[in-house]
Structure 1
């Protein structure tokens, strides 16, 4: 990757030695006879490379990762949305795209852990660093501590990236800090950071790069859903593992032939699913046409569960189904395809106009007579269309604590306040769904969070205030639509999927029937 003598686009005119030229602050030479610069810091040896040998360009894969981190930090963007567009923009091949993905996602997942290490290597609070410099340091730390990148390459390329897109002065700081990072391995750094720590939550937070409040929340969630608290380490490790891409072929419309020919393997949990190693899935015609979609297996299971509930009828012909919170349209597309097979129709509701367009695009592969899209507040549907639908899916807005492995930046954005803010909306949407369902019909309350405040507490609060409802065994419903027939997700009458147990997002499901 190294190419000596090439300048990055923003580096013209910058001196290799920063603002002092070839002299230190007291006038002494900072270069030896070969022209190599003396390193700053307590160990003032000379640099390995002469100025003409230093990388002055941004390696495209690392540049993509840097641009992703910058968009996440400065624009509040989502990495999974930014990354594909940057990969295409820089024309990365499959190998470089994989490197950029691991680097950006890994640095984002481990942000808290790497910041703790970097804080030991910087002579000022990290908050006082330029945000772009801090992002470059995080990328360098991830390469040095968690990737199979030789230390010299990680240092050279990160400094080269900094020279190209930030400047020569900051690149010297980055070089000095990352050299300090190389003094220890990651296990040694963690032992150093935690040598006097006795609090188990704090230890888990640092070792597994999760905020302390999320560690506590996930431990509580395990217990509330019938699993031992001791599984917390496995759960945190699963959050940090790179997730496998899950695919679904829309039933009766798509197939997995192209995906399987491209190296995907058949899914083991649900029909019409496959597991892909990734790559540029947009090259597959079935993906472009929307007949095969990227969708977590947990989402596939809960959608199939609500479609599969026996309502005591001989057929589903003529049924009306509702997806109350449909954006961006993944579950809606699967539900619409299932509805079309059964002679039913789906109304997909989404309050935001731009997301409603995404829902329409997602549904476009399904025959148009099987679905319609409504733009409006889901809380109004129950009043405007009372007792209209046979099946209602209400996948409420939530904290997303169950999808931390797929949304690496979200763990550092969320706060406990989000749970309190979302609670009233979740209850209102569930009540609207119940008002909209016919007597004898079923509502599926779904979250991508295992937190009791968003799952069992919401369901129990709503049930407690009404006498026309009864719960259906959700674990049995998931088993009925799974290939294994025994997921072990049920606890009581609700069900909870887990990344460390089922290799899915942590999807919660409660099926509620309105009494005839």
Structure 2
């Protein structure tokens, strides 16, 4: 492999690089390898670069490498932080390396991103962060690349984060573009979130900038590990006895301060699950909404787009408690199998209760025509860009493109129309996304309603109650509910509740 391919030929500009940078480490340090936590983080970063998802790849590798406690937490912060902030770190690296990051080998760039996060985003002393990053680069990228990484990392460590932020935004005259750089978000996402804050009535246009900054900063904060106790299968008290803390936001929620959720018996057995509190509240809202008299007799529930099964698991357990048949439908075969796994405890409980929990594999757009008026309660958790869950899905902001919104728009409208068709008179339909983008939320519902006279909007706000049974605050003017991470501490979930006439 050439020096250029390793990122080793073209060094950053002068400043006495050769002798100083070589002598900065003792010979014994040059030969040593990095620690397992950093190596694990690097391995996951490379998997993400190849298309993997952090929330799936990281836990798997942590188990394989038997990393627990502080080491697992350190590796997790490295992966999530370096991935979230890679846009900012790449801008800094461009200045420190004296060339665009596109000219740096991607594997070497991942090593630098991990090092930059330790220097600028964590409490790792600069000298330790530089030395460990060089050791990592020597181990995984080669000795030639290690010299390049050493030079870049020492240049990065010469300034603090605030100074670097000023450097990389110098000359940027558009405040929104500067904010995008400083908060490490693609510009199109920043513009979309700005429009969403205004369009959902969170703030007026003339006061949106401070709230937008708060939202983007919340996107970059590590999300807490939230657990949901599935009613009838587990309790919040059981989760608390396993080390979690009862949520003040969700009646069925708990927060795990540290540790592996998979070590909790209720989670392993599918009686509880890792689930954002906003997602929990949304499922509870659908289960709480009153249905008309004509829809109560022979009641039956449907999750039209159930994969990977979080909301379906909560709804199914409630349906079993009420002895109501429940159907979870998923178009993707692999995700349908995931739904089967996460609903296994509910399926077993349904047998004992004399009811059914069924997982189907099929296109949700067809269900309305195949089973018209068959369900009294329908959830359409539509595929979306996921812009409301960027703190949990660190790679999503870099993979999504503006054209994805338009590509999903038709699908979202077709799924909502199908869900309405599948609902009987007096029944309730919930349209949900984990994105606040106006083209995925309000505009979808409004477009579908304009073409129909058999369905009407309900006010969803009274359905959102916290753990104490009090109305969740700051839900806006309605009838929709849009949650926000900087306000509610949840993902930015959207819900519209409709009723079939």
The TM-score range, normalised by the shorter chain, is: over 0.9
Q: CA deviation at 1:220?
A: 0.4
Give the Cα–Cα distance (whole angstroms) in 2 for the partners of residues 324 and 19 of structure 1: 52
Shifted more, 49-58 versus 312-321: the winner is 312-321
1:327 counterpart = 2:307: yes
Equivalent in the alignment of 1:66: 42
1:261 counterpart = 2:247: no
Give the Cα–Cα distance (whole angstroms) in 2 for the partners of residues 198 and 466 of structure 1: 46
Equivalent in the alignment of 1:178: 153
* Contact 1:58/1:164, CA 8 A, preserved across alignment: yes
Change (3 A) 1:257 1:482: closer
Shifted more, 270-279 versus 212-221: the winner is 270-279
1:378 counterpart = 2:399: no
Shifted more, 474-483 versus 399-408: the winner is 474-483
Q: Determine helix, strand or coil for the equivalent of 1:121.
A: helix
* Contact 1:308/1:481, CA 8 A, preserved across alignment: no
Equivalent in the alignment of 2:477: 491
Q: Deviations over 1:261-302 (max 9, x none)?
A: 343211112212101123211111111101111111111111
Q: CA deviation at 1:482?
A: 7.2
Q: Determine helix, strand or coil for the equivalent of 1:412.
A: helix
Q: Determine helix, strand or coil for the equivalent of 1:420.
A: helix
Shifted more, 361-370 versus 463-472: the winner is 361-370
Q: CA deviation at 1:342?
A: 1.4
Give the root-mean-square deviation of aligned CA atoms. Answer: 2.2
Give the Cα–Cα distance (whole angstroms) in 1 for the partners of residues 329 and 29 of structure 2: 59
Q: Deviations over 1:412-460 (max 9, x none)?
A: 1111100000000000000000000001101000000001100000000
Q: Deviations over 1:87-121 (max 9, x none)?
A: 11111121000000111100001011000000001
Give the Cα–Cα distance (whole angstroms) in 2 for the partners of residues 314 and 480 of structure 1: 30
Out of 70, 75, 85, the position equivalent to 1:110 is 85
Q: CA deviation at 1:358?
A: 0.7
1:85 counterpart = 2:60: yes
Q: Deviations over 1:196-231 (max 9, x none)?
A: 222111111011111111111101000011111231
Aligned pairs for 1:436-447 (under 5 A) are 436-447=422-433
Out of 80, 95, 112, the position equivalent to 1:137 is 112
Out of 183, 189, 200, the position equivalent to 1:225 is 200
Rg larger for: 1
Change (3 A) 1:39 1:218: closer
Q: CA deviation at 1:479?
A: 3.8
1:249 counterpart = 2:222: no
1:410 counterpart = 2:396: yes
Give the Cα–Cα distance (whole angstroms) in 1 for the partners of residues 358 and 174 of structure 2: 53
Out of 148, 158, 167, the position equivalent to 2:123 is 148
Change (3 A) 1:477 1:256: closer
Equivalent in the alignment of 1:157: 132
Question: Paired residues, what number?
Answer: 482
Out of 396, 402, 408, the position equivalent to 1:422 is 408
Q: CA deviation at 1:236?
A: 0.6
Give the Cα–Cα distance (whole angstroms) in 1 for the partners of residues 265 and 475 of structure 2: 35
Give the Cα–Cα distance (whole angstroms) in 2 for the partners of residues 514 and 261 of structure 1: 43
Q: Determine helix, strand or coil for the equivalent of 1:222.
A: helix
Give the Cα–Cα distance (whole angstroms) in 1 for the partners of residues 185 and 259 of structure 2: 28
Give the Cα–Cα distance (whole angstroms) in 2 for the partners of residues 153 and 90 of structure 1: 23
Equivalent in the alignment of 2:332: 352
Give the Cα–Cα distance (whole angstroms) in 1 for the partners of residues 241 and 407 of structure 2: 46
Q: Determine helix, strand or coil for the equivalent of 1:332.
A: helix
* Contact 1:40/1:176, CA 8 A, preserved across alignment: no
Q: CA deviation at 1:124?
A: 2.7
Q: CA deviation at 1:319?
A: 1.1
Equivalent in the alignment of 1:336: 316
Out of 434, 455, 460, the position equivalent to 2:441 is 455
Give the Cα–Cα distance (whole angstroms) in 2 for the partners of residues 326 and 478 of structure 1: 21
* Contact 1:133/1:174, CA 8 A, preserved across alignment: yes
Change (3 A) 1:319 1:19: closer
Please, what TM-score do these two structures have when normalized by structure 1? Answer: 0.90
Equivalent in the alignment of 2:284: 304
Give the Cα–Cα distance (whole angstroms) in 2 for the partners of residues 496 and 509 of structure 1: 7
Shifted more, 484-493 versus 355-364: the winner is 484-493
Give the Cα–Cα distance (whole angstroms) in 2 for the partners of residues 67 and 256 of structure 1: 35
Q: CA deviation at 1:51?
A: 1.5
Q: Deviations over 1:21-42 (max 9, x none)?
A: xxxx9xxxxxxxxxxxx99942
Q: CA deviation at 1:477?
A: 2.0
Q: CA deviation at 1:55?
A: 5.0
Q: Determine helix, strand or coil for the equivalent of 1:274.
A: strand
* Contact 2:248/2:467, CA 8 A, preserved across alignment: no
Give the Cα–Cα distance (whole angstroms) in 2 for the partners of residues 147 and 198 of structure 1: 29
Equivalent in the alignment of 2:32: 56
* Contact 1:350/1:378, CA 8 A, preserved across alignment: yes
Q: For structure 1, which runs of at least 5 residues remain unmatched after alignment?
A: 1-17, 26-37
Give the Cα–Cα distance (whole angstroms) in 1 for the partners of residues 314 and 297 of structure 2: 17
Please, what TM-score do these two structures have when normalized by structure 2? Answer: 0.92
Equivalent in the alignment of 2:175: 200
Q: Deviations over 1:117-155 (max 9, x none)?
A: 000011332112111000001011111111110111111
Q: CA deviation at 1:314?
A: 10
